[in-house]
Chains A and B, each alone.
Chain A
Amino acid sequence: MNRRDFLRALAAAGITMPSLPGMADDAASNGAAEERARHLILIELQGGNDGLNTVAPFADPEYKLLRPKIGLKREQVLQLDETTGLHNALDPLMKLWKSGDMAVVQGVGYPAPNRSHFRSIEIWETASNSDETLVDGWLKPVTDAMPQHNGSPIKALVLGGDEGPLAGATYDTIVFNNLNGFVRQARNIKISKDLKQNKALSHILAVENTTRSAARVFAQRLDSEQAAAEASALPKKSPKLVKQLDLIARLIREDVGPQIYKVSLGSFDTHANQTQRHAGLLKQFAEGVAHLEKSLADTGHWRDVLVMTYSEFGRRAGENGSNGTDHGTAAPHFVMGGSVKGGLYGQPPDLDKLERKDVLFTTDFREVYSTVSRNWFGQTLQKTPYSEYDALPILKRV
C-alpha cells in the first residue's frame, strides 16, 4: 500500500488528514515538505478554435491542398517535430515546450460530432454523448469529491461567462467578472437563520452564506500588504486574459482556497478573413499563459497547476471561400504546468480520411477529463460520464 492508498483507506474509515487531495507519492517519498494543493485552470477558447492552424501539419501535402490561402507555411510555424508546427503567434509558449511543461494532445473530439456552437459546448461542458443531454458540468463530481482547502468556503471560481463545466456545483462555485465588485456586493449580505425547514429557503440561505463567506475570505487574504504590492505590478492596459490569469496566480500564491478556475477567450469563430484575427487571439492566449507561468514560477507554484484548453470544436479541414473556416470537429488541445510531461500525444488527424469534410477525432475528450480527475486530483470517481475512460500519460507526477 502506497501513501496515497493508505490515505484513502484512512478516509474511507472516516479518518481525515489535512490536504488529502494534494498529496502525491513522489513528494512523500522524496521527503519533501507537505505538498501544496493542486489547481486546475481551464481556458475556454470560445467560438471553436481552428486546430489545424494552431498545431499545423505544415509538411502534409493534403494540408496545403485543403488550405491554399490560409494554411501555415514552414516559415510561419515553430516546429515541434519534422511534420508538426505551432502557429508562430504562440511563440511565448515555446519556453514551456522546451522545458517540457507543455503537452499537446492531438485530435481531441467525440463520436457523432455536433457542429452547433451551443450544443457542442454543452457536450464538452457536461461530458455527455452527442445524443444525450446532461445537466451537471463534468467538474461537479470533481468538486464534490474534493475536500475544502484551507478553510475556503468555495472550491471553484469562474471569472466571467457561465459556470459551464461547473454547472450544478452551486455551493462550491463562485462566478464573477470583477473581484472588487463581487467583494463589495457580497460581503455585507445579512444572513438569516432558516427556522422554517423549507428546502427552497435553505438553498437560498446556503448560497447567501457561501457567497458572503467567499467575499470575506477573498478580502481578508488578498488584503495583506505583500499581496497588494504584488497585485499592482501589472500594467493597467494589460489584456483581459492576462489580468484574469494574474488574479488567479495571486489567489494561488496567497493560498486563498479555490482549486479550480475557469476563464475564457474569444471569439475564435473565424468564418472569414481569419489570418490576422486568429493570430491575435493565439497571441493573447500564449501571452496569458506565459504571464501565469512567470507569476507562479518563483514561488514554486507552477508545479501545482494544470492549465488546460478546450473549445466546442475545431474547424473544417478545408478553408472556405472567405479566407476563413467553418465549424468542424476535433482539434488539438494544450495541457500545461510544471507537473506535465511535455510532448505530442495522440494521433494527428489523417487529412486523407475526412468525413463530411471534417477530420475524425483520435482522442476522446473524456480521456482528458479522466486524466484530470484520476491522475491530477487523485480521485477514483465512479459513474461519471468519463470514469470509464483511460487517463492519458501526460503527467510527471500522479
Chain B
Amino acid sequence: MKNPTDHSHLASVRHLLTRTGFAETPGTVVQASEQSLADLLQQRLASSSPISSEPPPEWVDEQIPPRPDFKAMSTVDSLSVRRSLNQRLNKNAYQLRIWWLKSLVTTPNPLAARMTLFWQNHFTSQQRKVRYGQLMYRQQVTLMHHALGNFDALLTDMLRDPALLIYLDNRTNRRKRPNENLARELLELFSLGEGNYQEKDIKELARALTGLTVDKAMNFEFRAGAFDDGEKTILGTKGTLGEQDVVDILIRQPATAVFLTTKLWKYFISPEPDINIVEEWAGLYRDSNYDMRVLLKTLFSSEQFNSLSMHGQLIKSPVEYIVGAHRILDVPPINDNSLLRASRTMQQILYEPPNVRGWIGGNDWINSHTLLARRRFINLMLRDDAVDLNRLGAGMETSTIIDAILPIRLDTQGNSSKVSPIVQALHSPAFQLC
C-alpha cells in the first residue's frame, strides 16, 4: 500500500484516472492512490460496466416512417408537415445530446466512454445531415459496442451504418454513377491517412462500395443492382472486390495501424507523437488483430505516458471539461438547458462535429469566446446547491487537493487561505489541461 501523501504517486494516479476517463473528486483520487498504477489500469481495461446508465430517450428504437410525399401536397399542407417533422427531429436531436452528456457525467465505465468519444470523432457523422436521431443513436450503440474491441469488426459494421452511409453520400454511389465521398474519407480519415494511397485507389474503392445504402425505413440495404461487380484494383489487390474485401485490404496495410496509433497518442498522451514508438506499438496492435485493449495497455503502461513531462500536455475538450467539473464536485447533471448551452458556447456540440474531419482539439478549443464560456460554466457549477465543498475537501491538505485536481501547480495556487482549494483549482488556467 502506498502512502497517500506521496505526491508523486498521487500525481501519477490523477494523470492515469483523468486520461483514461475524466477528472474525479479529490477523495476518489486519494483513495485510488492506495493502489498501484498497474492495478488501476487493469480495472479500467477490464471493466464490464455499461457505458451509459441513463435511460435513452423512448423513441430511439422507433421505426422511421417513410418520408412524406411533399410534392403531392398543397403548399400550405407541405409547409405544415415539413414544420412538424422538423420540430420532431430537432427535439429528438436535443434529447439525444442531453442523454449522451448526462451518460458521460455518470458513466460507470469511463475508459470505454472516452473511447466512444474517440470513435465518434473518427467515424464522424453530423446529425444535421443524417437528420434522424434513431440513426445517430444506432451508430452510437455500434461505437459503444466496439469501443475497446477489434478495429476490423468496427470497420465492418461502420460500412453498414446507415448514419455514416447517409452522411458520406453513399446512397448515391451506384455502379453507373459512383460517388467517391465515402471512399475518399475511408482512406484519408478512417484507415490509412493522407499520403498512403493514390487517387486511383479512391476511384476503385468507390466502385467496391457501390450498392451500400439504406432502404425507405433507413435500415441498411445492399442493392445488388447498384453494385459494380467488375474487376478492380485497390492498393495492389485485384478482384471483383466488395465491402468485406475492402475491410481485409485496409486492415492488412501497416499504415492503418500506424494512423490509428498516432491518433490515439494524440488523444491520450501529447500533441507530438514519437514516431518510432508509434510504429512499434502499431506493430503490436496489428499483430493482436487490432485488439484495442492490447494497444491501450501498452500505451498506458509505457514510460512515455507515465513521464511527468506529459502531465498537462493536453487541453480538455469541452465535454471532458463539463464532465470533469461535475465529477470533481460530485453533483448530478445540472439542468438540461445549461448543459447544452455550456457545450455549445464551448464549441463542442455532440453529434455535430464541424466537418468530416471532426474536432481538431488541442489549442483549437481555447479562444477568447470559449475561454469566457468555460469561466462562466465553472461559476455556474459552483453556484449549484448540490455542491458541498466542505465535504469534498474534508480531512485533506490543501496541497493534496490541488494535486488531485491539477496536472500542474502554478505559483499562485494554494496560497489563499480564504478560498477553498477546490475553487482555486477549478479557477486555475491549469484546470483547462489534462
Please name the residue on chain A nearest to B188 by beta carbon. A133
Please name the residue on chain B nearest to A116 by beta carbon. B129
Complex Cα spacing A273 to B76, Å:
10
B91 at the interface (CB under 8 A from A): no
Q: Is the CB of B367 within 8 A of A201?
A: no
**CB interface residues, A 140-198, toward B, < 8 Å:** 162-163, 170, 173-176, 182, 185-186, 189-190, 192-193, 195-196, 198
Q: Is the CB of B429 within 8 A of A192?
A: yes
**Taking the nearest CB of chain A, how far is it from the CB of B72, in angstroms?**
11
Residues of B within 8 A of A170 (CB): 363-364, 366-368
Residues of A within 8 A of B252 (CB): none
Complex Cα spacing A207 to B374, Å:
13
**CB interface residues, A 194-210, toward B, < 8 Å:** 195-196, 198-201, 203-205, 207-208, 210
B126 at the interface (CB under 8 A from A): yes
**Taking the nearest CB of chain A, how far is it from the CB of B274, in angstroms?**
16
Residues of B within 8 A of A186 (CB): 368, 372
Q: Pick the contact of B408: A176, A201, A203 (CB < 8 A).
A: A201
Q: Is the CB of A185 within 8 A of B129?
A: no
Stretch of B47-55, B284-292, B311-319 contacting A (4+ beta carbons < 8 Å): B311-319
Q: Is the CB of B372 within 8 A of A182?
A: yes
**Taking the nearest CB of chain A, how far is it from the CB of B202, in angstroms?**
11
Given contacts A192-B412, A208-B429, contact A199 B356 (CB under 8 A): no
Complex Cα spacing A273 to B432, Å:
48
Given contacts A207-B367, A211-B371, A321-B75, contact A201 B430 (CB under 8 A): yes
Complex Cα spacing A173 to B412, Å:
28
Q: Is the CB of A119 within 8 A of B366?
A: no
Complex Cα spacing A175 to B347, Å:
12
Q: Is the CB of B371 within 8 A of A207?
A: yes
Q: Is the CB of B371 within 8 A of A205?
A: no
Please name the residue on chain A nearest to B189 by beta carbon. A133
B394 at the interface (CB under 8 A from A): no
Chain B 352-384 interface 0/1 with A at a Cβ cutoff of 8 Å (1 = within): 001111001011101111011001100000000
Q: Is the CB of B366 within 8 A of A272?
A: no
Q: Is the CB of B412 within 8 A of A199?
A: no
B71 at the interface (CB under 8 A from A): yes
A322 at the interface (CB under 8 A from B): yes
**Taking the nearest CB of chain A, how far is it from the CB of B412, in angstroms?**
6
Q: Is the CB of A200 within 8 A of B362?
A: yes
Please name the residue on chain B nearest to A175 by beta carbon. B369
**Taking the nearest CB of chain A, how far is it from the CB of B273, in angstroms?**
14
Q: Pick the contact of A211: B360, B372, B411 (CB < 8 A).
A: B372
A28 at the interface (CB under 8 A from B): no
Complex Cα spacing A190 to B411, Å:
13
Complex Cα spacing A179 to B432, Å:
25
Chain B 409-422 interface 0/1 with A at a Cβ cutoff of 8 Å (1 = within): 01110000000000
Complex Cα spacing A322 to B410, Å:
61
**Interface size in chain A (residues, C-beta < 8 A):** 39
Complex Cα spacing A321 to B77, Å:
12
Residues of A within 8 A of B367 (CB): 163, 170, 173, 175, 207
Given contacts A118-B128, A122-B355, contact A322 B75 (CB under 8 A): yes
Q: Is the CB of B410 within 8 A of A192?
A: yes
Complex Cα spacing A162 to B79, Å:
30
Residues of B within 8 A of A200 (CB): 271, 312-315, 362-363, 432-433
Complex Cα spacing A343 to B314, Å:
52
Residues of B within 8 A of A210 (CB): 368
User: Which residue of A119, A186, A195, A207 has the most chain B CB atoms within 10 A of its CB atom?
Assistant: A207
Given contacts A185-B376, A190-B412, contact A176 B369 (CB under 8 A): yes
Complex Cα spacing A162 to B375, Å:
18
B78 at the interface (CB under 8 A from A): yes
Given contacts A119-B355, A135-B360, A170-B363, contact A198 B369 (CB under 8 A): no
Complex Cα spacing A159 to B372, Å:
15
**Taking the nearest CB of chain A, how far is it from the CB of B409, in angstroms?**
9
Residues of B within 8 A of A190 (CB): 412
**CB interface residues, B 304-322, toward A, < 8 Å:** 312-315
Q: Pick the contact of B368: A175, A193, A196 (CB < 8 A).
A: A175
Complex Cα spacing A173 to B368, Å:
8
A387 at the interface (CB under 8 A from B): no
Q: Is the CB of A118 within 8 A of B126?
A: yes
A214 at the interface (CB under 8 A from B): yes
Q: Is the CB of B315 within 8 A of A203?
A: yes
Given contacts A190-B412, A321-B71, A321-B75, contact A201 B433 (CB under 8 A): yes
Q: Is the CB of A204 within 8 A of B315?
A: yes
Complex Cα spacing A142 to B39, Å:
52
Q: Is the CB of A322 within 8 A of B357?
A: no
**Taking the nearest CB of chain A, how far is it from the CB of B299, in angstroms?**
19
A274 at the interface (CB under 8 A from B): no
Q: Is the CB of A201 within 8 A of B368?
A: no
Please name the residue on chain B nearest to A210 by beta carbon. B368
A275 at the interface (CB under 8 A from B): no
Residues of A within 8 A of B128 (CB): 118
Chain A 111-128 interface 0/1 with B at a Cβ cutoff of 8 Å (1 = within): 000001011001000000
Complex Cα spacing A190 to B412, Å:
10
Please name the residue on chain A nearest to B126 by beta carbon. A118
Residues of A within 8 A of B429 (CB): 192, 201, 204-205, 208
Closest 8 pairs (CB-CB, A-B): A175-B369, A211-B368, A203-B363, A174-B368, A170-B367, A322-B75, A204-B429, A192-B410
25 A-B contact pairs sorted by A residue (CB < 8 Å): A116-B129, A118-B129, A133-B357, A163-B367, A174-B369, A176-B369, A176-B372, A185-B372, A185-B375, A186-B372, A192-B412, A198-B433, A199-B271, A201-B408, A201-B429, A201-B433, A204-B429, A204-B432, A211-B368, A211-B371, A211-B372, A272-B75, A273-B75, A322-B78, A322-B79
Given contacts A186-B372, A196-B410, A203-B366, 16 further A-B contacts (CB under 8 A): A118-B128, A170-B366, A173-B367, A175-B367, A175-B368, A176-B372, A182-B372, A196-B408, A200-B271, A200-B362, A200-B363, A201-B408, A201-B433, A204-B366, A207-B371, A323-B75
